[in-house]
Structure 1
Amino acid sequence: MIPLQLGLKNFLSYQEASLNFSQIHTACISGVNGAGKSSLLEAIAWCLWGKSRVNTEDDLIHYGAAEVRVMFSLIQHQQTFRIIRSRQRGQTTSLEFQVQTESGFRALTSRNMRQTQQLIIESLKLDYHTFINSAYLRQGRADEFMLKGAMERKQILARLLNLEQYDRLSDRAKEIALEHKTTVGVLQPQLEAIESQLTTEEAIAQELQEIEQHLHQLQETQARAKQQLGSWQTLQHQQQTLNQQRQWHQSQQETLDGDRQRLHQERDSANAQKEQLESLLAQESAITTAYQNFQNLQAKEAQLAAQFSTYQTTQDQLNHLRQTQNEQHRALEDQLRLTQVQLEHLHAQEQEVQAILDRQPEIEAAQVKLQQARDRLNSLDQLQLQVSPLLHHRQNLQSQIDRATARCRAKLEELQATWQQLQTEQAETPLLEQAAEDLAGQIAQLEKKRIYQQRVLEKGQERRNMMERLQAQQRNYESQLDAISQKLQLLKQRSSPEKGDEQIYPPCPLCDRPLDEHHWHLVQEKHTSEQQQILNQIWVIREQLATSELEIKVFRQEYRDLDRELAGLSPALEKRGQLKAVLDVTGQKLARLQQLQTEIMELEEALQTGSYAQDLYTELQTMDRRLQKLNYDEKDHVLARGQVEKWRWVDIKRGEIKSALKQQRKLQQERPELEAQYQQLSRRLEKLQTTSTLQRQIETLECQLAEMDYDPESHQTLLNRLRESQSAQFRYQQLEQAQQQYPQVCQTCLELDRRLEDHQQRAQELEESLAKLNQVLLQNPDATPQVKALERQLQDGQRQREELLSRQGRLQQQHQHLKSLNQQYQTIKQQLESAQKNYRIYTELTTAFGRKGIQSLMIENILPELEAQTNRVLARLSSHQLHVQFITQKTQKTKKDKWVETLDILIADSQGTRPYETYSGGEAFRVNFAIRLALAKLLAQQSGTSLQMLIIDEGFGTQDEEGCDRLIAAINAISPEFACILTITHLKFFKEAFPVRIEVTKTATGSQLSVMN
């Protein structure tokens, strides 16, 4: 990856910035802390992979801005790419990916951002993890590899080489192996249970044959019984037919009796209706007269109703006209009152305006005084403009003098306090020595108790392990006890026999075979004995558990007591180190006391004579002389402002005079219009009550109502009489219906008499038929007892057959179940073999993918190349004075013939091989830098790309001038291997050693970039 161009807009501390890498090969990025140096590299990482150090992407947006945008163009595999990533605050991020062609940049952006990001990684052959561990040497991580232990170094290498994927594969293989192990544990008992059930197949087949023979015999017996039952059922059917005929005749006789009663009732009802109709027909003359009177009243009411309609219409029109007249009258009165109010308000305004105009001479005199006060204030303002810079400068001088005095006094107080503290500490030296001796004896006692506490912990752990074993045994015995209890429960489920029947015992709970009385008692005694033995074992285990629990409580209490006593060990060790450090510097404190005494005397003399700020005092006297010459008094200035404020009301009053004159002219124009409007409204109101069109229409309608001959009271009296005579109409309708119904009712009475005579004759015929049927039934014998006996015999045979068929079906089902169990047995057997095989395979994969498998081999294969690369760079940095060697195996301390895995680093120089901690800060940094650079190159090779860009963001403060020269020489030496090398630093000596420097400065408008050659 070769960078070409970087463009920033509102990214972190940058508002607008652009950096061109096309002419940069080796350069440093310099600037003060916080200027935004590392932000340039964060922008590249965010643009390419969307990764940054902030929590949310909105935090990348410059403060006060709404959008962030980063553009980065680069060359990869001889192709030019451009990536643009932007984001609106509070919205989603957008990503564009482009490639340069002959006609310009062509978009490679996919449908969504995830696919586009994957396309970028595939095109660059570099992901974020590889970038920050290869091309980007981050600040503060150079010594991470060296400061860790052997196993931690392997973990760092695994993380850098992205070997976590093998850990995930190992964990997944372990999970799958555990699943197959669980499957084996489930299938093995199932297979054993099926084997025990398959042993009963032969006994079931023999029992099925016996049931089939018994069913054949029972079927022949049932056929003979059915033949006899048919003959007796024929005779019984004939008797049932005769009985049904007799029942039918009886029911017919009952029906005729009911019909005769109903006909008698209907005839009585018809005779009563005939009498009512004859009574109504006798009143025909009176009903007709009343009905004619009702019709006459209806005709008169119709005439009055027509007159009422005309009267009501005229009255409504008159009411509407009167209402309209009243509304217009009220409206004119309202307008008249409003005009009167406006005239009164106009008069009040004229009086107010005249009162303001009367004060005009007084305001003109005050205007002259206001102008004089303003002239005085302007002259003082001009003088203040000359005095203010001098006062400000004098104030700064006085502040500087006060700060210098405060610094001297603070320093004096600090020196005096330090001197006093050193005097006190020097006096306490013998006490500190005695305290150190006492503390050493206390620490020795606590160390012995700590060793004893460890022994107590080991004993408690032994008792806990023994309790776990006892609890496992107890659970096993309890499971066996539950199984025996279930078997005993099955043995006790005997059926209660009836008198004369044989005692039936349940099958054996182990083999499911039938048991006789002797074998049933043997099985029960055996299980009862086993149950008692298991109970005895459980009681023994419980006693051992109780004893162990008491011992653990004693050990736990003793451990807690020792833990409380050992709580003071860490503070004692810390205090011993502090006392030792204090005693070590006691000799240095004497020389420091004499030096402090001299400094205190010099500061006291400077404060008395004022010699610490002589130039500031001289400049202050000059400022005082210049201010005295100008003769400016702040009090006079304040009084002048007060005079202007005192007469400022004149400006307001002048404005009021102008407004009053304008208002007076406006009021004089409005008065004639309002007076004319008032007179016009008065004339309209008077005309509305006398000569208006509405008044003439109202008078016309009143005359029409007076001419109408209509009396509402007479109309209401007629309506009452009409309502009272409405019953005559109902009586007349009843008369007409009676005239129509009377012939029909007479015919109905004759018909009912005839039907009663027919029913009487039919009843006599039914009595004769019943007598004949009773005589025939007495002559035939009853077949019911024989039929019931044969039906009971058939039912018993059918019940036996159903029991045999049920038993046959159960046995056939068991036989079929055994066949399916045989097939299931073969299937489970194959599954068990497959699960055992897979368990072995995934167990081996767990080990292969683990840290002692493929990962260890990959690390061992890469270490020789890492060592060669490291020594190549380290030779340039140390002038071939330092050499590094990686050790991956060593012998155990106790067993010399055993080798253990490790990752130790041996460093050799001209004096021999020494530990890493004994080297100086500069030498250690060179080793760290060489190893880190070698790791970066190897990681780039692992990702399938070449490392063409190198960014070094490390602190070089530990390097002396010679070390910096060697670092620069090393960077220059490896520069041909890279297309671009960027180094971040703030050291002036280091900056000047690079041919190109990118200066980052922070301004009020954001960070700025400048490239210097």
Structure 2
Amino acid sequence: MIPHQLTLKNFLSYREATLNFQGLHTACICGPNGAGKSSLLEAIAWSIWGNSRVATEDDIIRAGEKEARVDFIFQTNQHIYRVIRSRQRGQSAALEFQMATSEMPDNYTARDLVDRLAFRSLTERGVRATQEKIIEHVKLDYDTFVNSSYLRQGRADEFMLKRPSERKQVLARLLRLDRYDELSERSKERSRQAKANEQVLEQSLEAIAHQLQDRAEIGDRLAQVEAQIAEAQAAQQRDRDRLAQLQTRQLQRQNWQNQLKNCRQRDHQLAGDCDRLQGDLSLTERRLHELDALLQQADEISAGYAEFEQLQKREESEAAKFHAYQDAQHRRSQLQQELRDYLSSLETQLASARANYDSLEERKAELHESLDRLPEVESAIAQLQAARDRLATLDELKERVTPAIARRQELQTQLDRLQARLTARLEEISGQIHRLQSEVQTSQVLRETALEVGYQIEELEKKRVYQQRVREKGLERRHFMERLQAHQRDYETQLAELDRKIEMLQVPDAICPLCDRPLDEHHWDLVVHKHGKEQQEIIDRLWVIREQLAVSDREIQILRDEYRQLDRQLADYDRLRERRGSLQAQLEQADDRRSRLEQLEIERQQLERSIASGDYGGELTLELEQLDRAIAQLNYNDRDHALAFNEEKRWRWAEIKQGQLQQARRELENLQQRQPELQRQIAELETALTREREDSDLDRELQQLERSIAAIAYDRREHQALREALQQARLWEPRMAQLQQARQRQPELADRSRELSERLQGRSRDRQAIVAQIEQLQHQLAETPDATEEIDNISRQIERSNAQLQQQFGTQGRLQQQQQHLDRLQQTYEQKQRDLADAKRQLRVYQELATAFGKNGIQALTIENVLPQLEAETNQILARLSGNQLHVQFVTQRVGKSRRKSAKKNPKLIDTLDILIADARGTRPYETYSGGEAFRINFSIRLALARLLAQRSGTALQMLIVDEGFGTQDNQGCDRLIAAINAIAPEFACILAVTHMPQFKEAFQSRIEVRKTEKGSQLSLSF
């Protein structure tokens, strides 16, 4: 990993800072303690992995800020990546991962690097998925990083302090041997799948073989059913031929029946037609007779219709006179109403004028009475002016005292709010203390629970160790059984060879099986006796081996049961470990709560003292006292102000009354001016009313209209008699219409009568022909008997035979399906046999691969090959740092402790990764070395490990970070450390050393100066 640019915002002690790594190969990050040197490197680890040294995640945010953000651009595996991680206080973190799609520019600054590079987003949905994506591309997790290329402050000995097994795991991850664990697990999984597949195939083959036993029986049953089907089909065909003959004859008979039915229907229809035509003919002749009678009265009807027309003309003339008479009468009524309305209007106006004159006289009297109170009102006005002067004085005093009162209220409000805040804070702290006390009380229960869980985990770990021993013993028994089985096969081969030789000796003139020479009786007995003795010895050995196999098999079965029982007992192991971790976290939180509780108790006591003494006001209380003295000096009283205001209000009526009197004086003058006008208006209305009553235009128009009504000469009784005569003569009008219609329809009815007579004769002839056809069909039906019953019998017989045949067809189909199924089963059986052989072969292959990829296979071999090189590199660096005084040795196996006597003869070796350190006084534990020596040892191992990984093709650690630790070295030790760093510098792209020692930082040409300011930590580069 090669860094290019790091941008910080509100991260730990940094407010805003950008570090450009261009030109920094071997650099020193220097500055005083607490300036933020380690925070700069923590930002790199936090941006990529989200891990840091802070206790809670919000602690990485600078104090007083709400959000922290780190933007890191780096190069790894020939690709340039950008990671942006941010976090808001009280919320979850945000993570963005990008990859550059353009080449890195040759020369760039911190400002234009992001602009000159084009990035493509690799961010997944969710922070966890994005984090896994980053680790996938970087190919390095956090633990491996801090145990190899990052010597963190105070944690340089982290690799050394790990357990031997954990050291081996860290080394395996660095060497990317964990992929072999994955391959081993995949091989085991496929081995289990192959084993399960083998068992499934064996069970399937057994089931198929059981089904194939019925194959011959099903073939015989199928042949028998096919013969029965052929016989039933022949009998059914004979019944079908007979049924076809009967159905043909029956169909002919049904046709004759249908024809007979149709003929009878036709006869009934023709009879109905004849009856209908006869009725129509009679009706037509009767109607023709009526028309002839009406035509004979034609002269009488014509004379009556002429008289009706004359009376109609006279009635129209009288109706015109009636309409003119009505119009004249209506106009006379209108004129009379207009005359009455006009006279009524004049009378109303005259009455209104007289009423207004009387009201004016009354109002003048009222105004004279009001004006008599003028002296009393003037005296009240003087009292009102005095009250207003007093009120103005008090208003001015109020304006001076009001700001002081408002400020006093404001100060009192602030003091009340301050007291309320202190009281609320006291209540809040009391609630928190109560809650924390209840939570702290449960810490003892948590501690006891954690101890109990720890005891359970220890017991389960012992059982895990015992389970491993059971497994090893089972494997040992399995290998022993395999050796016994191999011996058994050898003995069985030897026994078969001896049986063959003994059989050869039973032949007359047998020859020696060894030398091929003829045997006499004595030698034959010797050879037979010798072979028989060897045969018995082999049989005895076979019995011993079989007994041992049976015993071993039982032992393996017992071990399997015990292993499964232990496996069930260990089912809660992971859950208990998780619970222990959760309980430990809860205990740590309980400790935090206890310290928080003490702080809250102190704060509560301080608040209670402040509230009880009232000293929380400070300057506000002093200002309040000064305002109280100033208000007292002004001697302002709200009561006096209110009394003065009421006094002014009490005499305010005089001002209103004065205005009313002035208004009354003006109104009186107006009334005196209106009085002559009203007198003149009354006189004019009386004159007009007299004139309209004696002579007017409407009266003259009424007289002219009376003369026009007399000239019309309309007589109502004569008009009514004319109407009655016209009504009687109106009867001739429909008679005249009937006469005209009769003249038109008489020829049509004559033609209709002739047509009906001809159609009736034709229907009679058709009916006679139908009757003859009916007689012929009845004769044919009598000669052909009905075969319905016989047809039904044969049909039922065919249905029964068809049902039986369908059953036989169903049986045949089932047998054929079974036979086809068995044929397919036979093919499947053969295929599964081949699959079973393939599954057994795969099982052997994956079992061998699982063993090869396991911890004791390729991984152990790789570590064994790497450790000598790591040991040599470590000793080379350590020799330079210690002046050839210290030496390191890596031990991968040691003898296990055991109480058994057999273990002393054959000691058991345990895989480990112990580190032995030797000096001039011999080999000593790591803990006995001083701080400077311990740091040199740790530094040598970490540098050697980083150098080794940089040389390998796996995870290439191109950056080395050394954070502090130099304070434990003397001047000579510092020079040796610098020389060691410079020696390995060409193998790394960037080496950063963090220190606050002036003599150490002067040894580096490139320096990153960090200083603490009021605006946060600041960076500066020097080359």
TM-score normalised by the chain length of structure 1 = 0.49
Whichever of the two has the greater Rg, that structure is 2
Q: TM-score, normalised by structure 2?
A: 0.48
